Amino acid sequence: MHTVPEEGPSIPNPPTGPLADSGQPEQFPSAPQVPTGGGFALWVRDLLVSAVASVLIITFLYQPVRVEGTSMLPRLEDRDRLFINKFVYHISAIERGDVVVFHYPRDPEKSYIKRVIALPGDRLRIDHGAVILNGRRLLENYVPEEYQDSRSVAEMVIPEGTYYMMGDHRSISSDSREFGPVERSLIYGKAVFIYWPARDAGVVR
């Protein structure tokens, strides 16, 4: 939402030339109306409605979180603050490439943030760092060359209701290569926007 400042009353130029002495009474704009008590009450009401709506949106749709660790470099840095959308996966499917937040399978009290690499039913293997998905190498522009590693994973089919997760900083990330595919029920949000620090602000891709 945005507001546009109201324009003040226009001030006409005084007449010049013959009309200035025509004897006609000089016209002045009427004074601006002062809001009545009822108008002030409506303004307060609208302000309160906007505040409540904002709180509900943040509470039920978005949640601020803080990144701890460097496994999602270069896009997400340690101590970055970002918003996750907690509602989106109730109305749309999880897609490859989404950066998601989930409860760590080995300790649900902890939360991890990783990228979705493979979906249920996908055939996946990793050959010395190269991700082979359904028989074709996955192009991963989000993984800089210096963050790649040479680990391999035997071919597998991702079980129904689970997702294969990996960090973008492959050489230091603890992910599905260690703890396996993640159950859908453990995934609770999609990373959408970094809001702090300001230099990193922007959409998470």
> Residues with catalytic annotation?
71, 114
Distances (CA, A) of 132 to 38, 117, 122, 176: 67, 10, 10, 15
Distances (CA, A) of 172 to 21, 59, 103, 202: 87, 33, 19, 24
Cis peptide before 74 (omega within 30 of 0): yes
Whether 148 and 170 have beta carbons less than 8 Å apart is answered as yes
How many CB atoms within 10 Å of residue 123?
13
Please tell me the distance from the alpha carbon of residue 192 to that of residue 190, in angstroms, as a whole number.
6
* Structural tokens at position 99: 């950066």
Distance CA 65, CA 80 (A): 8
∠163-168-174 over CA atoms, to 5°? 65
